[in-house]
Structure 1
C-alpha cells in the first residue's frame, strides 16, 4: 500500500488511514484518492483483522485489555504565585484551611501515592520549586479562592518545566515565544522576583 501513488511512500499517512478505518470515525473527511487506497483493499484488511482477532491481537481484544487496566489519574498541579506571597505563607494558609500537607512526593512511588490521594491532601512536587500536587479527583478547584485570586496558579507540571529549567536570574531579559495564555511568562517573572 505504501507504494500506491496516492500515498507517496508515507507510512505515517497509512497508519492514519488504517486507524481511521478500523478504530476511528471512518474516512468520510478524506479525499476520494485516499479513500480509494483503503477501499480497494478493504476485504484484505478485514481478513487480516479477523485473523488477528482470532489470535487475541485484534482491535476488540486490545480495547478490552485497555479497559481492564487501571486508569492512570493525573494529579492537579498548582504553582504558588510567589509574586503575591511566599511559599511559607501559602503553606501556613493551606494548613489553616484544613489541607493536609504531606511533604515532598516520593519519586519512586509517585504514581501509587498520587493515585491514593484524598481530596484534602497536598504533596510538594519533588522537582519543580513552589509546585503543589493536589488530588486528581478534586472538585471545583478552579473556584477555590486561592485559585480565583491567583495566589495559586493552575499549571501542569510540563508547562512549569521551561521556566524552571531556564532558571533566569533577576534582571534577565526573557522573551516568551510560546503560545498563550502566559503561564510560562508569569512563572519566569516569579523566578526573577519580577525584576527583568
Structure 2
C-alpha cells in the first residue's frame, strides 16, 4: 500500500501547488522513485477520466473512508494500469466490491463519447503526442551482466527479439512484446513505447537502467578509458554516473557532485543497485570545487549536465501542467549558471575532454553557452565533430556549431537533448584522428549467440558474462 499512499500524496501536493511531480516524488522518500513517478504521471494524465468514472460509480459516497486521491490512484491501477502491483493492502478487497460497477461506468463513458480505446478518452491536450510515443530504451548495465544474457532472459519471458534495428522506422513500428537492439549504441535495447519495466527483476537488481537513448550519448561520447579520473559535475539522479562507471569497468575514479540532498540520497541507492564502486559522492556545489585541489589533479574527463529548463523532457507537460516555453527571465538566469559552470569545468588543468549536455531545446542554454565558453578560452579548447551520421545537428549560430548534436522525438525518436564535446587543442594535435573524435558508435555486429545458453531461474538476476 505504500506505493499508492505515496502516489496519492504527490497528486495532492501537485493539486495544492506545493511543487512539481518530480520535486514531490524525490521528496517523498519512497525507495523506488521511478516506479512512483511513472504511476503518478499516468494517473495524472487520466485524471479527468478517473474523476468521471469515480463520480458515476458513486465510489466515494459508498466508501466514506476512502480519500479522493487514494481512490484515483487505485481506480487507475484497477481499470487502466497493470492491476495492484503495489499490493493494494486493505483497499484491494474494497475495490473488488466495486470492480464490476467501475468497469461498467468506464465502458459507458466510452460509448457516450463514441470511442473504443482508453486513450481516446483523453482530452486533446492530454493525449500522448509524438513526444510521449518514443520507444522505451533500456541500457544493459555492463557492471552486472551482458547483452546476450539479457536478450536470452527476455526471450524466455515470451518476448520476441528482432535483432539489430536498421532504421528509425524499425523502432517506430515496435509493438507488443517485440524488442530490438539499437542501431547505434551496442548495449541499448529498444521496446515499444510505454513498456513498463519498473517491476522487472532485472531492473530491480540493477542489471537494466531505464534511460533514454539521447541521455546515453554524453557518457559514450566522453569515453573515459578504464583507470581514468572523471568528474560528473551535476550528477543526480545518477543514470549518467552509472554509465560512466560501466565504461570505466569500475576502474578509476568518478567524483560526483550535486547540491540536492534528497536527490543525492536517491542517487546513492541507484549506484549501489547498479554495482558502482568507483564513485565518490559529494553534496557540494560544483562551482565551489577548486580546480587546483590536488584530489582532482588527475581529472582528464568531465561530464557537465547542469540544471536547465527541461524544455526537451518528454514528461514536462505532466510535471508542469499547462507549462509553456520558459520565460526569458528564467532562461537568462539558467544560462548564466550554465556559462559559469562550463567555464569553471574548463579551468581544470589536466582536462582533456568534456561533454556538455542539457535536456533543453533552447538556444540560450545550448549553442549560446558553448559559444560563450569558447570565446572566453580562445585557442585552448575546440568542438569535436562527432557522430557525422546523426541527423539532428546544432543550430548554425556560430562556426562549428554543426559539430554539436541535438535530439528530438521527431528527428531521433528520443527526448529533446543537446550535446557538445569539447577537447583541449594540444590533445587534438597530438593524438590520432580516431582517438580525438572519440567513439563513433558505428553499428557493430549483432550479439553473437552463445553456444551454451545460461540457464536463469525465473526472477533471478543474470550473471555477468565471462
TM-score, structure 1 as length reference: 0.58
Q: Distance in 1 between matches of 2:198 and 2:129?
A: 23
Q: Distance in 1 between matches of 2:147 and 2:170?
A: 23
Residue 149 (structure 1) aligned with residue 209 (structure 2): no
Quick one: which of 125, 140, 143 aligns to 1:80?
140
Q: What is residue 189 of structure 1 aligned with on the other side? A: 245
**Structure whose alpha-carbon radius of gyration is higher:** 1
Q: What is residue 182 of structure 2 aligned with on the other side? A: 125
Alpha-carbon distance, 1:178 to partner: 2.9
- The CA RMSD over aligned residues, in Å, is 2.0
Contact 2:223–2:247 (8 Å) recurs in 1: yes
1:92-111: CA deviation from partner (whole Å, max 9, x where unpaired) = 2122222111111123xx1x
Q: Distance in 2 between matches of 1:183 and 1:134?
A: 19
Quick one: which of 100, 103, 111 aligns to 2:160?
100
Following TM superposition, the consecutive aligned residue runs of length 4 or more in structure 1 with deviations greater than 6 angstroms are none
Q: Distance in 2 between matches of 1:127 and 1:169?
A: 20
Q: Distance in 2 between matches of 1:158 and 1:116?
A: 19
Aligned length: 125
Residue 173 (structure 1) aligned with residue 229 (structure 2): yes
Contact 1:119–1:137 (8 Å) recurs in 2: no
1:40-91: CA deviation from partner (whole Å, max 9, x where unpaired) = xxxxxxxxxxxxxxxxxxxxxxxxxx99xx9432011110011111222112
Per the alignment, in what secondary structure is the counterpart of residue 175 of structure 1? strand
Per the alignment, in what secondary structure is the counterpart of residue 90 of structure 1? helix
1:144-177: CA deviation from partner (whole Å, max 9, x where unpaired) = 1111221111011111101111111110111111
**CA distance 1:178–1:157, shift in 2 (3 Å):** farther
Which structure 2 segments of 5+ residues have no match?
Answer: 1-123, 253-466
Which structure 1 segments of 5+ residues have no match?
Answer: 1-65
Contact 2:160–2:179 (8 Å) recurs in 1: yes
Q: Distance in 2 between matches of 1:137 and 1:124?
A: 17
Q: What is residue 90 of structure 1 aligned with on the other side? A: 150
Q: Distance in 2 between matches of 1:178 and 1:159?
A: 14
Q: Distance in 2 between matches of 1:185 and 1:71?
A: 30
Q: Distance in 2 between matches of 1:135 and 1:168?
A: 31
Alpha-carbon distance, 1:137 to partner: 3.0
Contact 2:235–2:241 (8 Å) recurs in 1: no
Per the alignment, in what secondary structure is the counterpart of residue 143 of structure 1? coil
Quick one: which of 89, 107, 113 aligns to 2:170?
113
